[in-house]
């Protein structure tokens, strides 16, 4: 983890008090010490093994839990089976009595899914390792963000959607304030916000939401500015094809083809290539570009003669 990430963790957690330990039947407690940098005091933290069924996802969790499945959690499931237990605790908050669950998960959705899957598939001995924290919503948001920022298994769109919601909820719509709190540049944050603001037909045109990248949003944004109605119409047509593919009727439209079709909708199809043969040269014209091909066995003298002839014809036009 980078020094910047460490600094954000310190800022989020520096004023938190240690949760009191409680004695519950069947509960197992693990303790770890954390040296507080500024005061030099030590804080005892209690980790608990719990049934994942008593935990629910925080409504502002930055990972879309419904997108988790056995396939995209397979690496974690296999790792847990190999280790025999969960090594790194999830971070949770205690819920008020009467909520139907005891804890809400701030960080650790994949761990929650993997442990739940294992318990439901003949590994009932697995339990969910959690660390209970007392966090404000804004602190919880920043902590979840920094834990997942560099993880490839969190999609750009999940991250972007989380940022857009947090912008209004925690920072009053002030992008500069949010960027400062997250310790990122405004430009970096802005790119993710643009992704989250893409119209729904564009999002539906991708094979899966998890496949749409921040880079794709940068490509699509000028297309919408140039020809919004045409681009959205084509996006709806692609989305219909993707929906049929999800229903088992045909193949998905791959991402490169999605982008190509949206560009064609905005600017028209690229001009077809015109091919001519001029002696040993094959001349291909596409729009304002010309491509020349010649056999690698052509002698230098013959190549020079062919190029001289091509240039004379070209500039005579």
- CA pair distance 190, 182, nearest whole angstrom: 13
Least confident range from 22-31, 151-160, 169-178, 289-298: namely: 22-31
Q: What percent of the chain has pLDDT over 90?
A: 55
The reported pLDDT for the residue numbered 22 is 38
Mean pLDDT of 167-181: 95
pLDDT tens, residue by residue, 207-224: 998 899 999 999 999 999
Least confident range from 29-43, 162-176, 274-288: namely: 29-43
Residue 19's pLDDT band, with cuts at 50, 70 and 90, is: very low
Q: Return the H-helix or E-strand segment holding 286.
A: strand 281-286
pLDDT tens, residue by residue, 224-245: 998 999 999 999 999 999 999 9
The reported pLDDT for the residue numbered 18 is 40
Strand pairing partners for 47?
30, 131
Q: What are phi and psi of 132, to 5 degrees?
A: -85, 130
DSSP state of 110: H
Strands 128-132 and 42-50: antiparallel
């Amino acid at each position: 983890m980078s020094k910047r990430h460490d600094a954000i963790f310190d800022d989020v957690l520096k004023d938190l008090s240690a949760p009191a330990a409680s004695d519950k039947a069947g509960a197992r407690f693990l303790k770890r010490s954390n040296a507080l940098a500024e005061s030099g005091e030590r804080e005892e933290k209690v980790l608990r093994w719990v049934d994942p069924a008593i935990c629910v996802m925080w409504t502002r969790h930055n990972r879309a839990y419904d997108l988790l499945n056995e396939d995209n959690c397979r690496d974690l499931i296999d790792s847990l089976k190999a280790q025999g237990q969960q090594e790194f605790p999830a971070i949770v908050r205690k819920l008020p009595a009467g909520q139907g669950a005891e804890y809400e998960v701030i960080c650790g959705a994949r761990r929650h899914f993997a442990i739940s899957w294992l318990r439901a598939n003949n590994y009932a001995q697995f339990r969910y390792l959690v660390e209970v924290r007392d966090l404000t919503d804004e602190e919880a948001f920043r902590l979840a963000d920094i834990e997942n920022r560099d993880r490839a298994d969190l999609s750009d769109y999940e991250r972007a959607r989380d940022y857009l919601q947090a912008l209004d909820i925690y920072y009053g719509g002030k992008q500069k304030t949010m960027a400062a709190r997250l310790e990122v540049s405004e430009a970096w944050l802005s790119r993710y916000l643009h992704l989250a603001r893409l119209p729904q037909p564009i999002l539906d045109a991708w094979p899966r939401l998890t496949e749409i990248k921040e880079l794709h949003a940068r490509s699509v944004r000028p297309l919408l500015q140039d020809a919004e109605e045409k681009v959205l119409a084509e996006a709806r047509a692609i989305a219909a094809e993707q929906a049929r593919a999800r229903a088992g009727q045909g193949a998905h439209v791959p991402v490169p083809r999605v982008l190509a079709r949206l560009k064609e909708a905005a600017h028209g199809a690229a001009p077809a290539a015109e091919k001519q043969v001029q002696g040993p040269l094959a001349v291909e014209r596409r729009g304002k570009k010309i491509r020349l091909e010649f056999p690698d066995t052509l002698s230098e003298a013959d190549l020079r003669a062919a190029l001289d002839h091509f240039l004379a014809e070209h500039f005579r036009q």
